[in-house]
Structure 1
Amino acid sequence: MQVSKTLTSFCLLSSLFSFNANAHFQEIIPNSDIVESAEEASLSLDLTFTHPMEQGPVMDMVMPKVLDVITADKRVSLLDTLAVTSKDGEARRYNVDYQVKKPGDHIFYVEPAPYWEPAEGVMIVHHTKVIVDAFNGEANWDSLVGAPVEIEPLTRPYGLWTGNLFQGIVKKHGKPVPFAEVEVEWRNDGSVSVPYESYITQVIKADANGVFSYVMPKAGWWGFAALVEADEPMKNPEGKIVPVEEGGLIWVRTRDMGVKMGAKTGAK
């Protein structure tokens, strides 16, 4: 009987630990990270708040506070074109369509509404971006969007092969964050099963200059999340003052060498 109780307690603790260990990632995933022809110029971006390596669960995402596209010469809000794609009763997720009209890098940026995570006792705000190259225009792939916490890429965040090294600088209010913690997850397409919980989220630390590095071992979308505590707390839905986990996220895509590419592949 004592062994049974001990085993039950262990399972409960393991379940709680497993839940808390899973990383939240704000996704903003385009159906292509590179546009090279007029036929490819119709972009579709999916916005989901989830655990990408585990393919869920999906957390409810209320309407974002900001959804912008930033090019070399202007910044345009896309909030008015955002559409809910989930069914009634499901956690909300979104999609936005965008027509690329000119060459140059397009930075898509979302500031979601704060999300209350009772298991961790924090509000979560993940400032997230993805860069799409249009017609080989390049120019501003390393530009900052002005988020409170942000990753400045040191590696061009598109045109990446599997096995490439991705580097970035974690910045808070525009200044490097020494030894910042960065969580990394691959957006699982169902082809990979993890052997242990610790394989779900890779965890690395930046150096004294806020620079981190990671070699991406598999083709697909990779999310990098630099997490810091916000300067100011906020109220949770019950009105209690709680800390805020403020994240700066960037998504990048890798492709395998030797694989013939179609005109455009899906967001998955």
Structure 2
Amino acid sequence: MKTALLLVLGAGLGFASVQSAFAHDVWLTVGGKASNRRAVVNYGHPDDRPPAVADKIVDLVAINAKGRVSLLAGIEPKSEKGILVVETKPFADDTHMLLAARYDNGFWVKLPDGSYRNATRRLVPDAADSMWSVKFAKALTGSGAPWDTVLGQELEIVPLSDPAKTGIGQTLHLKVLFHGKPLAGAEVERGDGVTAVAEKDIPRFSTDADGVAAVPLVKAGPHLLVIDHKVTPSASPDQANADLYNATLWFNVAK
């Protein structure tokens, strides 16, 4: 128990539009020195980074060979240059961890004028569209992290080999699970969480009948895999038309 992890809720460029708020991603990244590690909860897209909302983080955990530690227990928010920093309890072996979070983005409605609001169809019965949005994020801090752990998230990306040991030019196979079962025909997007890419140019890799996708790793550095899954009708039909699930997996590829 020698190191402390800081949870940083990534602030961004300001929320220019809520039109695609329910389509934004949530992903975890890790930085800082060994004596002052930081986990960052990123929200949005590389070119659209509104701040994450602390109260929407349902849970955030760190998992290593010794067990699981909640990073929400006993946290005290502090303001640092517009970024919300939360110091958590120290834990050991922070370079070989799986970080995981669940983020409830709530209900969204599309008004007749085309604008969006964070509300339910019960309050806006004449909404042109409505949706519940929930997001799941995982990050691997390095080689030896428990990459094969299945958390039971409703939508989850599970590598079939250690991403940190998959070299440039090799292919990472992974399985996509929805409610614990393989999700066939889903599209896994590959990015780095830093570089803005036009929607039409984002590399996508489909899952087969077993929910497995083959993703080539073509460069060193951070990798962010993203998947969206829309379910209609919603499990709460009186409040939304559909449920939108989002899952991410972040890791680094060595040079």
Query: What is the alpha-carbon root mean square deviation over aligned residues?
Result: 3.5
How big is the shift at 1:167?
1.7
What runs of 5+ residues in structure 1 fail to find an aligned partner? 1-15, 33-38, 258-268
Q: Does 1:107 align with 2:107?
A: no
**1:192-211 map, 5 Å:** 194=197, 196-199=198-201, 201-211=202-212
CA distance in 2, matches of 1:225, 1:149: 11
After superposition, the Cα gap between the structure-2 partners of 1:86 and 1:115, relative to the gap in structure 1 and judged at 3 Å, is farther
After superposition, the Cα gap between the structure-2 partners of 1:104 and 1:206, relative to the gap in structure 1 and judged at 3 Å, is same
After superposition, the Cα gap between the structure-2 partners of 1:59 and 1:233, relative to the gap in structure 1 and judged at 3 Å, is farther
For normalisation by structure 2, the TM-score amounts to 0.69
After superposition, the Cα gap between the structure-2 partners of 1:70 and 1:204, relative to the gap in structure 1 and judged at 3 Å, is same
Q: Does 1:130 align with 2:123?
A: no
Q: Does 1:225 align with 2:216?
A: no
SS in 2 for 1:79: coil
CA distance in 2, matches of 1:30, 1:253: 10
1:31 match: 31
- Residue of 184, 188, 192 corresponding to 1:186: 192
CA distance in 2, matches of 1:193, 1:26: 15
After superposition, the Cα gap between the structure-2 partners of 1:197 and 1:106, relative to the gap in structure 1 and judged at 3 Å, is closer
1:12 match: none
* Letter of the structure 1 residue corresponding to residue 38 of structure 2: S
**1:121-200 map, 5 Å:** 121-133=130-142, 138=144, 140-188=146-194, 194=197, 196-199=198-201
* Letter of the structure 2 residue corresponding to residue 61 of structure 1: V
Q: Does 1:45 align with 2:39?
A: yes
Does the CA-based 8 Å contact 1:169-1:210 persist in structure 2?
A: yes
* Letter of the structure 2 residue corresponding to residue 156 of structure 1: D
CA distance in 2, matches of 1:84, 1:243: 36
1:2-47 alpha-carbon deviations (Å, 9 max, x no partner): xxxxxxxxxxxxxx9xx76x96221210017xxxxxx735421111
Give the count of matched residue pairs. Answer: 217
CA distance in 2, matches of 1:227, 1:197: 14
How big is the shift at 1:83?
3.9
SS in 2 for 1:114: strand
Does the CA-based 8 Å contact 1:108-1:129 persist in structure 2?
A: yes
1:67 match: 60
CA distance in 2, matches of 1:174, 1:182: 17
After superposition, the Cα gap between the structure-2 partners of 1:112 and 1:252, relative to the gap in structure 1 and judged at 3 Å, is same
After superposition, the Cα gap between the structure-2 partners of 1:174 and 1:193, relative to the gap in structure 1 and judged at 3 Å, is closer
CA distance in 2, matches of 1:164, 1:46: 28
SS in 2 for 1:225: strand
For normalisation by structure 1, the TM-score amounts to 0.66
SS in 1 for 2:104: coil
How big is the shift at 1:65?
0.6
After superposition, the Cα gap between the structure-2 partners of 1:76 and 1:220, relative to the gap in structure 1 and judged at 3 Å, is same
1:232-264 alpha-carbon deviations (Å, 9 max, x no partner): 5348xxx83232211232112123x3xxxxxxx
Does the CA-based 8 Å contact 2:150-2:158 persist in structure 1?
A: yes
CA distance in 2, matches of 1:82, 1:242: 37
Which structure has more helix as a fraction of its residues?
1
**1:51-90 map, 5 Å:** 51-52=45-46, 54=47, 56-58=48-50, 60-63=52-55, 64-80=57-73, 81=75, 83=77
How big is the shift at 1:99?
4.3
1:121-158 alpha-carbon deviations (Å, 9 max, x no partner): 4222111111224xx6x373201112111111013122
1:260 match: none
Does the CA-based 8 Å contact 2:107-2:240 persist in structure 1?
A: no
